[in-house]
């Protein structure tokens, strides 16, 4: 037997539908949904800053001299590299220093092999934070302290992330 117990009246259905639409609209329009595609904006800022910083340490301060990056690769361990690179990444004008960290690896070709060498990091480990990679090329002569790097073109790759 069909009676009106437990039945939804048409007018109530319409009201409920409108209520749902309005609620959904209100919820969506007041909250910011950050979809995975949009993280590239912050990634882009980080990547640009990292690229700027790595390029600056790879630019000689004066004509005819070597860049800080080049000098540090020659004279391992890279003490001369860490401070300026960290400073370039983290300096801000109005707020205090930023919290960017880095880990730099060198890649070079030895015969048919691509070898890699850990170069410098700022002491904080990388635990799969959202990170970007920036690179620069450096040419090393045959006077580096590490004979493995003599006469090599080195790809310097910096992994940069914000903690």
Partner 1 sequence: MTMNRKISHENGQLSIDFIIGFTIFMLAFIFVATMISGLLINLQSKTIDYDAVAYRTGVILVEDPGEPYDWHLLDLSVEEDCDNFQRLGLGIARNNPGIIQENKIVKFFDFATSGCSDCDTDQLCYPLDYTGKLIFGDYPYQFNISLQDIDKVDYPTSLSVGEIPPEKYGYMRRVVGIKKPGFAIVDAAIVDNLGYNLTIHIPVEDLYFKSLDQTYKIDPLTEDFNISLKGFLLPDPTFITSVELFKYPGPTSIFIPPNSPTIKIYDESGPYPYPPTRPLNGNPSFLIENGYFVDQNINELSELELRIYFDQLVGHSTTFEIADIAVTPPLTWAVMEVKIW
Residues that bind partner 1 (CB under 8 A): 1-2, 7-10, 12-14, 16-18, 20-21, 24-25, 28-29, 32-33, 35, 38, 41, 44-45, 48-49, 52-53, 55-56, 59, 61-63, 84, 87-89, 91-94
Residue number, 94 or 128, with CB nearest to partner 1: 94
Shortest Å, Cβ 159 to partner 1: 18
Nearest distance from C-beta of residue 113 to partner 1, angstroms: 33
- From the CB of 27, what's the least distance to partner 1, in Å? 10
Helix (H) or strand (E) holding 10: helix 10-30
SS3 for 59? coil
What b/e readout covers 42-54, taking b as 16+ CB neighbours within 10 angstroms?
A: eeeebbebbbebb
Q: How far is the CB of 6 from partner 1 (least distance, A)?
A: 10
In the complex with partner 1, the residue whose CB is nearer, 132 or 144, is 132
Residue 101 main-chain phi, psi, to 5 deg: -125, 160
Q: Tell me if 75 sits within 8 A of 145, measured CB to CB.
A: yes
For residue 62, give the 3-state DSSP assignment: coil
């Amino acid at each position: 037997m069909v009676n009106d117990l437990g039945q939804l009246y048409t007018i109530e259905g319409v009201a409920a539908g409108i209520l749902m639409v309005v609620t959904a609209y209100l919820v969506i329009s007041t909250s910011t949904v950050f979809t995975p595609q949009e993280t590239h904006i912050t990634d882009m800022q980080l990547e640009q800053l990292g690229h700027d910083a790595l390029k600056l340490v790879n630019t000689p301060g004066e004509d005819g001299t070597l860049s800080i990056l080049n000098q540090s690769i020659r004279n391992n361990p890279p003490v001369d590299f860490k401070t300026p690179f960290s400073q370039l990444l983290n300096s801000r004008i109005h707020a205090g220093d930023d919290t960017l960290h880095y880990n730099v690896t060198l890649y070079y070709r030895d015969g048919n092999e691509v070898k890699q060498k850990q170069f410098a990091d700022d002491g904080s480990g990388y635990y799969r934070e959202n990170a970007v990679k920036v690179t620069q090329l450096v040419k090393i002569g045959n006077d580096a302290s590490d004979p493995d790097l003599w006469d090599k073109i080195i790809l310097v790759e910096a992994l940069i992330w914000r903690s």
